[in-house]
Structure 1
Amino acid sequence: MKSEVPSKSLEWSNLVLGAAFVCAAYMFGGQPVAAWNAAITGTLMVCCSAVALTRYGAWVEWSNLLLGSWAVVAPFLLGFGSQPVAMWTHVLLGLCVATIAAIQLAAARRPSPRASS
């Protein structure tokens, strides 16, 4: 496993998406379950991405993959799937975070061109 982030720009993207998720929590004022879920999940995404930027480990990407997947299914499991704004915010941001984490995991598994020379 590499100790360096495969793509810092993708990691920054996940950090920004997590922050957007935290900010989106304020849009869900009338839906406390959606607001709390967005705030907690987004904060954890930001923390994982910040850790990955400073000290990369595959566990951080697995955490973001899990958090992104949770964000996708949370509206339906927590009962706010009938609220379109909250539901689509969770699904779209969750898919983006999970996809970026999967790309980072795949990139980390590829051998470095310098290592094979």
Structure 2
Amino acid sequence: MAMRWQDWMNLLLGVWLIAAPYLMFYDPGFDGIASWNSYLVGGALVIVTGIGLAKLIPWREWVVLVLGIWLIISGLLLGFLAGNQIALWNGIITGIVVVIGSASALRAADKGQRGA
């Protein structure tokens, strides 16, 4: 079982993204594109990270890195820049944290470190 702090952090961030539309009252409600983006990316983070906690799969950190980058740019690409500042900034900040953790895990894997 590969247990790394990045996996646990990403699991918690995935749960946060799933809960954020409810806790932060994303506008225009619970069925908007910002909410669905948060649900889908959060769910993907939980699934990919859960797999990573159960079994060492080399490509999963690349998937997490792409999800983090998507979080950073999705507000601009999906058009909730002006109408949903809370969702925009939550995605950007959470995405940056995911990218940093993923990059750290990838660098540790390149160095052959376990449990990094």
TM-score above 0.5, yes or no? yes
Does residue 89 in structure 1 map to residue 68 in structure 2? Answer: no
Deviation at 1:10, TM superposition (A): 1.9
Which stretches of structure 1, 4 residues or longer, exceed 4 Å deviation after superposition?
none
- Name the amino acid aligned to 1:20: W
Name the structure 2 match of 1:106.
107
CA RMSD of the aligned region, Å?
1.7
In 2, distance between residues paired with 1:25 and 1:10? Answer: 23
**Percent identical across equivalent pairs?**
29
- Name the amino acid aligned to 1:101: S
Deviation at 1:8, TM superposition (A): 1.8
- Name the amino acid aligned to 1:95: I
In 1, distance between residues paired with 2:60 and 2:76? Answer: 25
In 2, distance between residues paired with 1:9 and 1:100? Answer: 9
Name the structure 2 match of 1:37.
37
In 2, distance between residues paired with 1:111 and 1:45? Answer: 24
Deviation at 1:40, TM superposition (A): 0.3
Q: Output the TM-score relative to the length of structure 2.
A: 0.86
Q: Which runs of 5+ in 1 are unaligned?
A: none
Deviation at 1:112, TM superposition (A): 4.7
In 1, distance between residues paired with 2:21 and 2:38? Answer: 5
Does residue 69 in structure 1 map to residue 62 in structure 2? Answer: no
- Name the amino acid aligned to 2:28: G
In 2, distance between residues paired with 1:105 and 1:63? Answer: 11
1:74 match: secondary structure:
helix
- Name the amino acid aligned to 2:105: Q
- Name the amino acid aligned to 1:17: L
Name the structure 2 match of 1:8.
4
In 2, distance between residues paired with 1:111 and 1:60? Answer: 16
Q: Which runs of 5+ in 2 are unaligned?
A: none
Higher share of residues assigned helix = 1
Deviation at 1:17, TM superposition (A): 0.6
In 2, distance between residues paired with 1:50 and 1:19? Answer: 11
In 2, distance between residues paired with 1:111 and 1:65? Answer: 19
Range that drifts further, 55-64 or 27-36: 27-36
